[in-house]
Structure 1
Amino acid sequence: MKLRNLLGAVVLGAGLAVLPTTSASAIGGPNTLTVFAYYSDGTKQTLVGQRWSGCGGSGGQWGETTPYVNLFFPAC
């Protein structure tokens, strides 16, 4: 069990080491809306809430938040 956990940590660390780094400004941006979509369970079939911001607006939200989230960046 310990060997499997160690191997998993090594694989995860190696994967993170080869990912390119980006600045925070590259995520989202002035012409992008940031949308958090919250679902009722892990199947992500029933939308129960959203939160959004960007595109020069004040943002908003409705519904409830859950641990089952998808993140979207649609253009304005």
Structure 2
Amino acid sequence: MLAGTGRRKWIWIGLAAVPAIRIYYVQEMIAALIIFSVLFVGAATVVLIIFLVDRASQQIVVWAEAGVARLIHRVLAASKA
């Protein structure tokens, strides 16, 4: 019995939403929401890419630092010989 009342409730909400969507102000607000949502997702994507590049570059620097240190030791050892 409760499932039937939930269905009726959603039917009434849907019926009330149809005329509301026809109002110009509501259409304008929905369009603005979509535009700002797309802009927010774009900005979040850019921030995520910058974050991931920063994290990857930190790992690359750690890896390269160890390689450069070995190279310097080899060069110094070769120059003393």
TM-score (norm 2): 0.27
Point out the structure with the larger strand share. Answer: 1
Greater relative contact order: 1 or 2 (C-alpha under 8 angstroms, separation 6 or more)? 1
Point out the structure with the larger helix share. Answer: 2
